[in-house]
Amino acid sequence: MTLPKIDKSVLALAALAVVGIYLFATAPADLESDQGSGRTVPVETLFRLLDAENASIRKLYTTDIVTPGLKNGLEYREDWKDKDVHAGPLPALVLRETANRLQQRVPDLSLFLGSTFPIEASNQFKGAQLGYFDKIDKNRQPQFFLDESSGRYTAMFADIAGAPACVKCHNEHPKSPRKDWKLDDVMGATTWSFPRKQVSTDEVMEILGAYRTAALDTYSAYLKETESFADGERPQLGARWPKDGLYLPDIDTFRKSVEERNSTASLNLLLQTSAAPERAVAVKGDAKPATSGASKPDKAGTAP
């Protein structure tokens, strides 16, 4: 797999993460891989790092952009891209947009936000995913497995209703099959899949960089959208945040906040992983992973 070169500023986390990676990536000969240079790590490590990156950015957007923004005159809607709609994307739509952009950069990696009560039917969990989501719904612990229907290694992480805007949207949406969501409910699971059990450390850094680029590009698209907002609705862009009024952080301010939060979080996760026994992704029977792309959901992500 050939990955695009990522701007070095986006890979600030890699400078820290690589130290942690090599603390536990001293793989024996049978774990060496020809998939890129460097040592290899279990794909579970990649999934955990991606989930930490994704969760941190979504929390930043939800708690520091959407929640205070709604209180200070900003709107966030499902149809935010439509002409004459002066609004930004809801948190789940940020994930969908990021997933679409990430797919273009790393075609082997799939990301979507699935559920047993999705607004978009294409995001309905099926097959083995239903059983693993049932476990997540009960204990909120991530699940790692080889999906025999696709031959892809898969990770599912609980998606918790963490903001009133998410609950309100799902309960009021005309296509929503469930209308009684509450804060802190498990609404679904962020679901990642990849065709190989092992990933080189070089690939880990490139994929993390590709994810962050995709997320920042998504936020940049929102800022671009605000240029068409009417006077009195258009936020001022700069170093200030919505908690201060009708403001949005510009892309540099947002990027710096992401880097400060996520670089440390990624290193801490790697250090925790290095201190624990290596865990293999669960495999049923003698099933083997696919070596090429597999079927993916029709739409990345789900409606908020």
Three-state secondary structure string covering the chain: CCCCCCCHHHHHHHHHHHHHHHHHCCCCHHHCCCCCCCCEEEHHHHHHHHHHHHHHHHHHHHHHHHHHHHHCCCCEECCCCCCCCCCEECHHHHHHHHHHHHHHHCCCCEEEEEECCCCCHHHECCCHHHHHHHHHHHHCCCEEEEECCCCEEEEEEEEECCCHHHHHHHHHCCCCCCCCCCCCCEEEEEEEEECCCEEEHHHHHHHHHHHHHHHHHHHHHHHHHHCCCCCCCCCEEECCCHHHCCEEECHHHHHHHHHHHHHHHHHHHHHHHHHCCCCCCECCCCCCCCCCCCCCCCCCCCCC
For residues 126 and 304, the model is more confident at 126
Tell me whether residue 298 is in a domain.
no
Is the per-residue pLDDT at 14 higher than 60?
A: no
Number of domains in the chain: 1
* For residue 89, pLDDT beyond 80: yes
Which domain covers residue 127, as residue numbers? 8-275
Q: Is there a domain that residue 84 lies in?
A: yes
40 lies in a domain? yes
240 located within any domain:
yes
User: What's the pLDDT tens digit per position in 47-74?
Assistant: 999 999 999 999 999 999 999 999 999 9
What is the structure's pLDDT at 121? 86
Residue 191 lies in a domain: yes
